[in-house]
Amino acid sequence: MQNFVKNEGTLAFKIDGEKGPWIILSHALSANLAMWDAQIAILAKDYRVLRFDTRGHGASDASLTPYSMQDLAGDVVDLMDHVGIERATLAGLSLGGAIMLAVALDHPDRAEALVIADATSAYPASTHPMWQERAEHVRADGMAGILEGTLGRWFTPEFREAHPEEVDRVRQMILGTKPEGFIGAVGAIMGFDVEDRLAEIGRPALIIVGEQDHALPLIHSQKLQAGIPGATLSVIPAAAHVCNIEQPAIFNALLVNFLKANAGATATSEAL
């Protein structure tokens, strides 16, 4: 684990792999960079992988002032500058997907391609009372106040029964999230809406969603596919919100096939 010190606090990050193009992984709300453990072995064979803890998550400091999704995108770009990454494939799940959409829109020259999983392009005002309620539970009871509800949305009942050790690993991630980190991210979520800007994204994009994702159902991924020119959509069966954990073999195959298919695609298109 390494640390990058910013004015807003320290960001923890980890690098795997010694050669090949860069891919950056951004985790879900209430998780941390270990959420991507099942992807690292296969990615690190041919790619350099940068993953990090979002503000207030894992080993990263929480910000004491409000921030936006654009600020979280700025963290990614600052981290890229710190490591010396000019351009990378940007991959994110849920909150991480929103962060990577913001990077691609606000810093398009830094995106080689996009992989957006179980995410959305907007959190409309109708969802804000729900987010405010969750934030109040965390203020009152810490992360334990939303623990079981989160696990229920993230995994299918079948997975929870068959893989209690993996569910417990994620449980510890959630409990290890700083309450200020959750509350700050909720503020960023409620201010996020890029639905009308998706057509600006001029990079190859893969959209992935768990078939049983009830947190951000299929319609959100369909809107992403429809809005991003040339985007493809893959639905993973027998998976809920964190499909990369619930069905890692399928997720990894989709990810690696996309990376191979789009190797050098940006350089080629810009040369035309």
Rounded to whole angstroms, the Cα distance separating 21 from 161 reads 38
Rounded to whole angstroms, the Cα distance separating 6 from 95 reads 21
Rounded to whole angstroms, the Cα distance separating 189 from 116 reads 16
3 state DSSP class of 6: strand
Rounded to whole angstroms, the Cα distance separating 117 from 120 reads 9
- The pTM of the full predicted model, rounded to 2 decimals, is 0.95
- Return the CA Rg of the chain: 17
Maximum alpha-carbon separation in the chain: 56
Rounded to whole angstroms, the Cα distance separating 102 from 88 reads 14
- What class does CATH assign to 2-265? alpha beta
Q: Please, how many CA atoms are within 13 Å of residue 148, restricted to the half-sphere of its CB?
A: 2
Rounded to whole angstroms, the Cα distance separating 69 from 142 reads 23
158-167 long-range contacts (CB < 8 A, ≥24 apart) are 158/238, 159/238, 159/239, 159/240, 159/246, 166/245
Residue 9: per-residue pLDDT: 87
Amino acid identity at 225: Q
Rounded to whole angstroms, the Cα distance separating 121 from 104 reads 12
3 state DSSP class of 233: strand
Residue 5: per-residue pLDDT: 86
Domain spans, the chain: 2-265
Per-residue pLDDT of the chain (272 residues; tens, 9 = 90+): 899 888 788 999 999 999 999 999 999 999 999 999 999 999 999 999 999 999 999 999 999 899 999 999 999 999 999 999 999 999 999 999 999 999 999 999 999 999 999 999 999 999 999 999 999 999 999 999 999 999 999 999 999 999 999 999 999 999 999 999 999 999 999 999 999 999 999 999 999 999 999 999 999 999 999 999 999 999 999 999 999 999 999 999 999 999 999 976 544 333 33
Distance of CA 83 to the CA centre of its chain: 19
What's phi and psi for 105, nearest 5 deg? -80, -40
Could you tell me the CA-to-CA distances from 203 to 50, 69, 209, 225, 261 in Å, in that order?
A: 20, 20, 19, 12, 13
